[in-house]
Every structure is written in structure tokens, then in C-alpha cells.
């Protein structure tokens, strides 16, 4: 503990206080391998939260790709290089045929920020429609369109050009009637926002959405909503932007991309996090027409975006997903884990909802079903006690009451069993009950 204490003192001296740490007692992680992390004392932790290390921590083929390119050439700004072209082609082969043009950046936030610039220039408008609870990145422009942030602690509230529609959450949403009534409510809310923009003599620039909400609480956006939203946005002349930063690259199991679940064809797709397995890499992919509109004389330039090392790593990640059948594993292991969690839901009434696709799962904890009181305090207890059992997860959602599971895709059935055993131990040990 003394070593950790010394590191914390040093961290507090040199790093900004808003740069937060996980867990009540922070971990000092020294190395990673596959789906495991190891602290400074050699203790082993099952990593059920790091979706960034998509194909596993320190995958040998990713390390090899980075090394082999690093000893030849790292940065490459305004010169020709084949790696960026080969990798672009590989990505585009995975996408609908309307998405043909890439912009390379270094993070999901950077890509979403660029997507906003492109959409606003294309439509000569800032009018934006976003989902309640959404988070799309940490730049000023993205905080402005992220209700998770601007309605949260320290937030400055909503800007006039931002229009928030309610998240269609079938468990704890604004409207809970089932069937067509449920869908009609949320689609009508979107239509009303579009009509308001038109009535004010303005034009919709874009609608941005995650097919499965991340920080919003691992909420699956219904396919019918996605389809109807796409039609409404396109009829209004807006661009349909899909944020795949958290859920893309086979994580959901059934599909390679989240938007494929509904069959929509986005105008812009943003990719990040898992794309580089921990290496800074991100991409905006759009149509040729939209890309040409952005080419208005103001050059787009990125010192490190699409550098040879990044592209070689990105290609290695794609190859590994295919070679090791990780999308299939995400489906099989994720389905098994979901089934196990649903069994626990039947035994422990603090578990209000279990949802997700593949290895992107949310467990919503509730204290009072009548009032739908979020069990935020209990969620924090579970997260910290699971760490003591050697399992790493975190909580999310607007009320921080949703346990999120999004491990490296090498996470297997044995790992799922270990997680379920540890999770049940924590639930049982605390004797969690719904407060009547």
C-alpha cells in the first residue's frame, strides 16, 4: 500500500484532479495478457471492462505488427504510403457500399468531432438531434451534444442548437407501454423535434446515435426506431451519423457493426477504441459526395492520423478477429453470460434488468420497482467488491446504477462462469433486497 500511496501523491502533484481513477482503492496495473490484468504485486484480475483491448491485452500479432513497422517508419504525414490504403480498403470492405471514404484520426472523440464538422458544413447548419443520456466524446463540440455530460455534474446545460429526444429504453424509459405504442411515442418525439427545427426556419444538420447506448446504460435502441428515425432524418435533409466507437468490430456477436441490426445505411460512421487494441487510432467513414463537400479549400490535416504504425496495427486487429473467430466467440460467450445473469435476476431482486448483445452487457440495479429508484450506491459496492474477488467491471448510465460488461473478445465460457460465481457471491454476501 505504501507504494500505491507514493504513486497517488505523485499523481496528485502532476496530474489534473478531473483525471479520475477507478475503484475506491485504485489499482496499480503493471501488465496485461489476453483477458487478464496484473497489478504490481502480481495479483491477477479478470478484465471484464476493457473493450479497448479488443483482441486481448498485448496480443502477440498486434505487438509484432507495431514493432515491425516502428523500425521502418512511424509518422508519415504528406507522403504516399501503402499501409493506409490497404487498411482503408479492408475497413470499407466491411461496410455498406455507400461508405467509401476515410478520414483518419487518433481517438473516438476526435472522430466524432470531425463528423460534426463535416455534417455541419454539408448542411450549413448546427441544428443537432441527440439521444438523452448519450455521450459522444470529450471535446467542447461533443460535450455540447452529450446530455450525459451537459445535464450531469458540472455541466452547463443544453445549447439552443441541440435538440434532445428521449432514449427508447424498454425497461426504465420515459414511456413504458409495450407494443407499437412504445415505438410510436419515441418516433413522435423525434418527428416533433424535426418539425420544430423546420418551423423555426432552420435546417437539421444531423442526428447522431449509438445503436446500443454506452454511457447511456447499455440500452439497445429498437430496430424499428432506428429504421423510422433514418427515414425521418433523411426526409428532413439531415445526415444520419452512427457512433460505433464502443460496439463495433464484432463485439455484439450477431453483426460486425451495431447499425447492421436495423439495416440502416448511415451517411457517416465513426470508429474508435477497439480499432487499435489500445493504440491511438480512429476513423470517420462517409460517402464520396459528403467527403467532396468537405473539401472546400480548408485542408483537413492530422499529424498522426493514419500513420503507418497505426494502420498496421489496425489491419492486425481485423485479421485477428477473423482468424480467431472472435465475433463468433462474442456471440457464444455473450449469450451464455446473458443466460446466467438472467438466472441471477430471478434470485436477486435488486437486479432490475439484464440486457445486451454479444459481449456488450448491462445489468441495471433498482431499489424500488414502483418508483424505479436507481441502486447507485449498491452498484458502487458491487463494482468494488468484485475487484476484491479479482474481477474488473464498472458502472455507468445517467444514475451510475448500470453495471457494464464489455471485456476483450477473447473472454470465454470459463471466464463467464468465474464472473457469475463472483457476482453471485457479492450479491449474496450483501443480502441485497429491493426497498419496499
Residues 36-61 have pLDDT tens digits of 999 999 999 999 999 999 999 999 99
Indicate the residue among 296, 323, 350 that finishes a domain.
Answer: 323
Based on the domain organization, do 50 and 68 belong to the same domain?
Answer: no
For residue 7, what is the enclosing H or E element?
A: helix 2-14
Based on the domain organization, do 111 and 254 belong to the same domain?
Answer: yes
**Alpha carbon distance 291, 271 (integer Å):** 16
Based on the domain organization, do 222 and 362 belong to the same domain?
Answer: no
**Alpha carbon distance 266, 366 (integer Å):** 35
Residue 434 reports pLDDT greater than 60: no
Give the pLDDT confidence score for residue 435 in this predicted structure: 47
Q: Which of 213, 221, 214, 146 is nearest to 187 (CA)?
A: 221
Give the pLDDT confidence score for residue 436 in this predicted structure: 46
Based on the domain organization, do 11 and 123 belong to the same domain?
Answer: no
Average confidence (pLDDT) over 182-205? 94
**Alpha carbon distance 353, 350 (integer Å):** 9
Give the pLDDT confidence score for residue 76 in this predicted structure: 78
Give the pLDDT confidence score for residue 12 in this predicted structure: 92
Based on the domain organization, do 312 and 382 belong to the same domain?
Answer: no
Average confidence (pLDDT) over 18-40? 94
- Assigned domain for 225 exists: yes
Contact 411, 35 (CB under 8 A): yes
The helix-helix angle for 413-430 and 376-388 (nearest 10°) equals: 120
- Assigned domain for 435 exists: no
The domain tally of the chain equals 2
- Return the C-alpha torsion angle 56, 58, 62, 63, nearest 10: -170
Give the pLDDT confidence score for residue 158 in this predicted structure: 95
Contact 90, 319 (CB under 8 A): no
Based on the domain organization, do 289 and 354 belong to the same domain?
Answer: no
Q: Which of 24, 29, 37, 46 is nearest to 422 (CA)?
A: 46
Contact 220, 180 (CB under 8 A): no
- Structure-block grid coordinates of residue 153: 455534474
- Assigned domain for 229 exists: yes
Based on the domain organization, do 205 and 348 belong to the same domain?
Answer: no
CATH number at residue 388: 3.90.1150.10
Indicate the residue among 275, 298, 323 that finishes a domain.
Answer: 323
Give the pLDDT confidence score for residue 390 in this predicted structure: 98
CATH number at residue 207: 3.40.640.10
Based on the domain organization, do 294 and 422 belong to the same domain?
Answer: no
Give the pLDDT confidence score for residue 418 in this predicted structure: 98
**Band of the pLDDT at 104, cuts 50, 70, 90?**
very high
Q: How far is CA 372 from CA 23, 54, 287, in A?
A: 26, 34, 43
**Band of the pLDDT at 2, cuts 50, 70, 90?**
low
- Structure-block grid coordinates of residue 207: 442526428
Give the pLDDT confidence score for residue 181 in this predicted structure: 65
Give the pLDDT confidence score for residue 265 in this predicted structure: 97
Based on the domain organization, do 312 and 349 belong to the same domain?
Answer: no
Average confidence (pLDDT) over 98-109? 97
Give the pLDDT confidence score for residue 352 in this predicted structure: 95
Average confidence (pLDDT) over 412-424? 98
- Assigned domain for 216 exists: yes
Q: How far is CA 344 from CA 7, 239, 390, 411, 420, in A?
A: 38, 42, 20, 20, 8
- Structure-block grid coordinates of residue 127: 441544428
Give the pLDDT confidence score for residue 179 in this predicted structure: 61
Range of the domain at 267: 60-323
- Assigned domain for 16 exists: yes
**Alpha carbon distance 314, 108 (integer Å):** 14
Task: Calculate what percentage of the chain has a pLDDT beyond 90.
Answer: 89
DSSP string, 51-66: TTSTT-BT-HHHHHHH
Q: How many CA atoms lie within 13 A of 43 on its CB side?
A: 13
H helix runs in 236-357, sequence order: 288-294, 308-323, 326-347
Based on the domain organization, do 128 and 210 belong to the same domain?
Answer: yes
Residue 367, helix vs strand vs coil: strand
Give the pLDDT confidence score for residue 178 in this predicted structure: 60
Average confidence (pLDDT) over 329-340? 98
Contact 242, 258 (CB under 8 A): yes
H helix runs in 163-298, sequence order: 180-199, 223-235, 288-294
**Alpha carbon distance 245, 106 (integer Å):** 12
**Alpha carbon distance 386, 381 (integer Å):** 8
- Return the C-alpha torsion angle 294, 295, 296, 297, nearest 10: 140
- Assigned domain for 88 exists: yes
**Band of the pLDDT at 371, cuts 50, 70, 90?**
confident
Pick 176 or 304 by higher pLDDT: 304
Based on the domain organization, do 72 and 44 belong to the same domain?
Answer: no
Average confidence (pLDDT) over 306-317? 97
- Assigned domain for 298 exists: yes
Residue 416 reports pLDDT greater than 50: yes
Q: Counting Cβ atoms within 10 Å, is residue 154 exposed (0-12), middle (13-18) or buried (19+)?
A: exposed
Give the pLDDT confidence score for residue 433 in this predicted structure: 60
Contact 213, 146 (CB under 8 A): no
Residue 108 reports pLDDT greater than 80: yes
- Structure-block grid coordinates of residue 265: 445505411
Residue 101: which region, alpha, beta or left (left: phi > 0; alpha: psi -120 to 50)? Answer: beta
- Assigned domain for 436 exists: no
Give the pLDDT confidence score for residue 219 in this predicted structure: 96
Based on the domain organization, do 201 and 288 belong to the same domain?
Answer: yes
Give the pLDDT confidence score for residue 174 in this predicted structure: 77
- Number of helices and strands in the chain (H, E): 13, 18
- Cα angle 24, 397, 321 (rounded to 5 degrees) comes to 90
**Alpha carbon distance 212, 246 (integer Å):** 9
Average confidence (pLDDT) over 273-280? 95
Contact 430, 381 (CB under 8 A): yes
Indicate the residue among 299, 323, 347 that finishes a domain.
Answer: 323
Amino acid at each position: 500500500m505504501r507504494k500505491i500511496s507514493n504513486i497517488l501523491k505523485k499523481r496528485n502533484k502532476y496530474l489534473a484532479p478531473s483525471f479520475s481513477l477507478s475503484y475506491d482503492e485504485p489499482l496499480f496495473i503493471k501488465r496485461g495478457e489476453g483477458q487478464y490484468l496484473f497489478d504490481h504485486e502480481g495479483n491477477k484480475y479478470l478484465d471484464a471492462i476493457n473493450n479497448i483491448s479488443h483482441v486481448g491485452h498485448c496480443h502477440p500479432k498486434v505487438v509484432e505488427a507495431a514493432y515491425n513497422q516502428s523500425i521502418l517508419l512511424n509518422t508519415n504525414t504528406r507522403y504516399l504510403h501503402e499501409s493506409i490504403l490497404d487498411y482503408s480498403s479492408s475497413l470499407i470492405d466491411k461496410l455498406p457500399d455507400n461508405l467509401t471514404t476515410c478520414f483518419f484520426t487518433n481517438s473516438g472523440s476526435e472522430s466524432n468531432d470531425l463528423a460534426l464538422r463535416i455534417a455541419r458544413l454539408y448542411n450549413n447548419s448546427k441544428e443537432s438531434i441527440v439521444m438523452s443520456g448519450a455521450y459522444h466524446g470529450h471535446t467542447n463540440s461533443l460535450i455540447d451534444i452529450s446530455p450525459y455530460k451537459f445535464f450531469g455534474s458540472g455541466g452547463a446545460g443544453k445549447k439552443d442548437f441541440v435538440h434532445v429526444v428521449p432514449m427508447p429504453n424498454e425497461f426504465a424509459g420515459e414511456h413504458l407501454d409495450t407494443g407499437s405504442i412504445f415505438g410510436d411515442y419515441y418516433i413522435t418525439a423525434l418527428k416533433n423535434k424535426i418539425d420544430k427545427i423546420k418551423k423555426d426556419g432552420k435546417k437539421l444538420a444531423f442526428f447522431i446515435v449509438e445503436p446500443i447506448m454506452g454511457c447511456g446504460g447499455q440500452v439497445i435502441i429498437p430496430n424499428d426506431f432506428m429504421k423510422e428515425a433514418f427515414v425521418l432524418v433523411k426526409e428532413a435533409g439531415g445526415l444520419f451519423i452512427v457512433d460505433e466507437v464502443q460496439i463495433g468490430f464484432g463485439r455484439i456477436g450477431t453483426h460486425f457493426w451495431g447499425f447492421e441490426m436495423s439495416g440502416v445505411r448511415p451517411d457517416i460512421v465513426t470508429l474508435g477504441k477497439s480499432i487499435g487494441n489500445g493504440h491511438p487510432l480512429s476513423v470517420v467513414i462517409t460517402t464520396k459526395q459528403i467527403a467532396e463537400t468537405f473539401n472546400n479549400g480548408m485542408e483537413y490535416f492530422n499529424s498522426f492520423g493514419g500513420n503507418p504504425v497505426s494502420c498496421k496495427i489496425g489491419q492486425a486487429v481485423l485479421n485477428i478477429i477473423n482468424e480467431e473467430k472472435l465475433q463468433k466467440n462474442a456471440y457464444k460467450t455473450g449469450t451464455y453470460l446473458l443466460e446466467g445473469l438472467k438466472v441471477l435476476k430471478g434470485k436477486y431482486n435488486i437486479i432490475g434488468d439484464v440486457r445486451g448483445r454479444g459481449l456488450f452487457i448491462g445489468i441495471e440495479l433498482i431499489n424500488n420497482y414502483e418508483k424505479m429508484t436507481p441502486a447507485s450506491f449498491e452498484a458502487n459496492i458491487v463494482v468494488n467488491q468484485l475487484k476484491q474477488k479479482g474481477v474488473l467491471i464498472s458502472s455507468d448510465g445517467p444514475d451510475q446504477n448500470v453495471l457494464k460488461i464489455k471485456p476483450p473478445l477473447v473472454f470465454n465460457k470459463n471466464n463467464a462462469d468465474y464472473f457469475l460465481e463472483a457476482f453471485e457471491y457479492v450479491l449474496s454476501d450483501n443480502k441485497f433486497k429491493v426497498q419496499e
